Amino acid sequence: MDVTRLPHPPHRLPLLGDLLGGDVRRRPLQTALANARELGPIFTRRFLDRDVVFVCGADLVAEVSDETRFAKHVAPGLAMIRRIAGDGLFTAYNHEPNWQKAHDVLLPAFAMSSMRTYHPTMLKVARTLIGSWDAHVGGEPVRVAEDMTKLTMDTIGLAGFGYDFGSFERETEHPFVSALARSLGYVQAKTRELPWTAPLHRGDDRRFEQDVALMNKIVDDVIAARKASGERGTGDLLGLMLDGGELDEVNIRNQVITFLIAGHETTSGALSFALHYLVKNPVVLARAQAEVDAMWGDAERPDPDFADVGKLRYVRQILNEALRLWPTAAAFAREAIVDTTIGGHPIHKGQWVMVLAPALHRDAVWGDNVEAFDPDRFTPEREKARPVHAFKPFGTGERACIGRQFALHEATLLLGLLIHRYRLIDHANYQLEIKETLTVKPTGFTLKLARRTERVSVTAPAQDVERTVAGQAKAGTALRVLHGSNLGTCREFARRIADDGKELGFDTAVAPLDDYAGGLPTDGPVVIVAASYNGRPTDDAVKFTAALSGMDGSGVSYAVLGVGDRNWAATYQRMPALLDAGLAETGAKRLVERGEADASGDLDGDVAGWSARMWQALLETYGDPGAKPQESPMWTVTTIGGDITSALDERHGLRRMTVLSNEELVDVEHPLGRSKRHLRIALPDGVTYRTADHLTVLPDNRPELVERAARLLRLDLDELIAFSGRAPLPIDRPVTVRQLLTHFVELQDAATAEHVRLLAEHNPCPPERAALRANGKSLLDIMEAHPAGTMPLEVFLRCVPAMRPRHYSISSSPLSSPTEIDLMVSPLRSSDFVGVGSHHVTRLQPGDTVRARVSPCREAFRLPQDGPVIMVSAGTGLAPFRGGIADRVARGVTAPALCYFGCDHPDVDYLHRAEFEAAEAAGAVRMRPTFWQAPEHGWEFVQHRIVAEQDEVWELLEAGARVYVCGDGRRMSPAVRQSFLTVHSARTGADMAKSQRWLDELIATDRYVEDVYAG
């Protein structure tokens, strides 16, 4: 981009550029905002020898938000944060594979189901702050920004990682918090440092290195404690990263630090600005008081549930307006990925610009008087009328803030509780002064507090939707409820709609949209519940969306409910709207206007309101006019078929498969022998697989664990249980306690702080209550250590998740074994932990059945039919390569193939040795085992042999070989990567940075592919 043609501040100096224009060093953001007012929607500033182009007009920001032309750029200031957070989500370069891996692993943590689990922790920490503020009522003022920072740090620590910073109980700051604050201040100062002054800051440099080392150690200790506990399936951010196995330990540490930075800095700033504007705008405050009073009345201690927070629409508008005026992450950089233009100015691939969000949020599209605080700018009507790229407080595109929904739920909850409880007194007539670090916050802002004694009387508006539906469908009317869902929210709503449809007499079925890519049925209505994924179809709706334009919709009747989050304004409801319009264009009949359910608002209310209108429309067309009002019969008779777990199995798409054999692969009599089992399983009719696919298994808890749980819960194992209303688990019949605890729930997950609080409520012993802690142990462990109390079963079931499927690589080839599959499984066992899935699978006997399905592996992980390959694995990670090598034998492929395989001892656990030696004799592979307990040539592990045989490895790589790695993602996978970097550096003379770029390119082009798991 030719910056000489862009406006810039006056009085530019040689060498220094615009450094002396405004208070650039202390207030760079506010200086840039002043420049934008004077220079317009695009301008440049020069910092020494570097020109930075700022973009702030709504039209121009819409251009750089186009993901086909621009992507995130890690600008110099953000690159400095890499010294703290490495390749975390916020600071990773686009080409670094860990960004996509971490994004995919962590995205479920911000699904609606996960958000509901965080709510109790958010409420607990909010009450801790309120307890602290109550002590200031009528006394000393509270320091707003500082207390908001304590709250948000404690919330992300507990909800994300099970770590309690205890900020409100400590007399001094937690060492991590102090080190983080100093480090962020150092990084900010470093970005403004003049090059020739560096020697003056060596003391600061040393202190920074010490602070980073301290933070790393604290986080590493948290990770080590979680691993040592053996807990799995916690569902929080740390659990997802450890259980997923995709991320190495250094990257997990980077992600934890990233979330601790982003999860507390931005939210605390937003809350502080919102409280400032509330005390300066009494009319706005009165409206907010009316809203919270209508919900909680005179309650001394409101107990809002998750759905209540979405109903605080005006409180949420207040937060959005505060974020408009002062977005706490105030600027983000965008890089051209093709040669293109911005507002007519050419920009070349690789050049970047900085979006100045506070200036964007003051563009003319926001109307007159943009400096005024007006939450009504965020009414749904005005939001719809505004350009979608006009509001960017969380960045843009696929790399926008992944945790925005978490932050806004936390902030809305707290702000509502504070408005309900206190009179906020601006005792010092505070005038806004902004402190700029990584983010922006009010500085020196204090409030005095008094308890509110009067409530605002509110008359609830009449409901515009009748939520109850009368009538019955004609007998035999089919209703298909189809979903487009990545994270499960739309799938769950689809199931609820189907359940309601059954009660209204429809014959219902639930399925993903892709099941109907060949066309929609005409024998009954079709209801679609769909979301967008970054403006694209969800994984289970890709085929349907692609086929939609060619469908014949004649005779099809449909209704569409879109589920989304208005925070993603640029893509909000994009796919539901496309599906709705596309179906209409095919000639299908729309039964009711498309519904919009907003996850950042009253989601359940939106769904309920639309559902009532939808049922009314369906019954007008498909209802039985002669049906009489339903009378409660004296009794009903229900025939229940299938097995006890039928409903659970159906939810996961499982079939019953018969075990044909289960044999030991290892000499377990040898002192080094660690069991590894070889299972052969018959596939049901109609089920097929491809090489390297996975078998997804739903296991059972072992009997001794079930008996222990029943004893601690003080239940009779043979006692019968029936659920009324909506069951907490997919159970369609009465079950015994033994069946419930065996098949349906996880019993070894770590207890959260909220679980311990519930346990304390049912423990009558004060010393035991005081000693209860969420220490990484399971609920059963904690109950056993504190036996005075127990949990009612209904409370226990709220705390434990449903049984989760486990995934095992298939080790056979369909070319040689099309109707049977093989598995290699190591039982996971330590002194105090037994793996649920591996124990279940390895104990199966011939003739037993396993509930399972075949799941496809990543397409990139399938070995090519020809061409050179390098396979690297350890232990049972050899499984998919056994199938791939069998394919090569069956096809007669003799292209070069190296298989590096780590085991303990050649006489103990060289798995399937005779089979692999026969394949090697046939020319299908060259086996390269390593034995860490009996190393040959000093090669303990696969990485050592790869480096030692670098001539052969490099020859294959130069010939286009693809590399496949399977096994332990914590130790082996990072070590193998390092070995390939060493090979490249040794063969080319490149430094490690160049070698890393080479490996990154292999990964990006699927020439280096990993399928790794947590070790």
d(CA 99, CA 148): 29
Q: Is residue 899 annotated as part of the catalytic site, yes or no?
A: no
CA-to-CA dists, residue 413 to 15, 271, 773, 779, 807, angstroms = 50, 11, 25, 28, 38
Q: Is residue 266 annotated as part of the catalytic site, yes or no?
A: yes
Matching residue, tokens 């007159």? 368
Element (H, E) at 943: helix 942-948
- The SS3 call for residue 43 is strand
CA–CA–CA angle 102, 103, 105 (5° rounding): 60
CA–CA–CA angle 763, 764, 768 (5° rounding): 65
Write the CB contacts of 698 (distance below 8 Å, at least 6 apart in sequence).
645, 648, 649, 652, 654, 803, 804, 805, 806, 851, 852
d(CA 802, CA 796): 12
Helix boundaries (H) for 629-736:
646-652, 703-713
Strands 557-564 and 526-530: parallel
Phi-psi region of 902 (alpha: psi -120 to 50; beta: other; left: phi over 0): beta
Other beta carbons within 10 angstroms of residue 590's beta carbon come to 16
Quote the DSSP letter at residue 689. -
d(CA 600, CA 309): 9
Q: Report DSSP letters for 295-332, one per residue.
A: HHTT-SS----HHHHHT-HHHHHHHHHHHHHS-SS-EE
Candidates 56, 401, 903, 966; catalytic one:
401
CA dihedral 579, 582, 583, 584 (to 10 degrees): 130
Tokens linked to 325: 């005026």
56 among annotated binding-site residues: no
Provide the CA 717 distance to its chain's centre, in angstroms: 37
Q: In 3D, which of 496, 502, 577 has the Cα closest to residue 535?
A: 577
Candidates 259, 394, 901, 931; catalytic one:
394
d(CA 373, CA 383): 16
Half-sphere exposure of residue 826: CA atoms within 13 angstroms, side-chain side: 19
Element (H, E) at 418: helix 404-421
**In 208-222, which positions are buried (b, 16+ CB within 10 angstroms) versus exposed (e)?**
beebbebbbebbeeb
| Residue ranges of E strands in 665-776 | 677-682, 694-697, 720-721, 735-736
Candidates 266, 328, 340, 876; catalytic one:
266
Other beta carbons within 10 angstroms of residue 552's beta carbon come to 12
d(CA 583, CA 787): 60
Write the CB contacts of 1005 (distance below 8 Å, at least 6 apart in sequence).
none
d(CA 819, CA 314): 60
Q: Is residue 401 annotated as part of the catalytic site, yes or no?
A: yes
Other beta carbons within 10 angstroms of residue 313's beta carbon come to 17
Cβ–Cβ < 8 Å for 435, 425: no
Cβ–Cβ < 8 Å for 530, 579: yes
d(CA 78, CA 191): 9
Query: What is the phi/psi pair of residue 890, to 5°?
Result: -65, -35
Matching residue, tokens 């998919």? 880
For the chain, give percent helix, strand, coil, nearest 5.
45, 15, 40
Half-sphere exposure of residue 39: CA atoms within 13 angstroms, side-chain side: 21
Q: In 3D, which of 184, 149, 400 has the Cα closest to residue 265?
A: 149
Write out the catalytic residue numbers: 266, 394, 401
Please enumerate, by residue number, every residue annotated as part of a binding site.
401
Please enumerate, by residue number, every residue annotated as part of a binding site for heme.
401
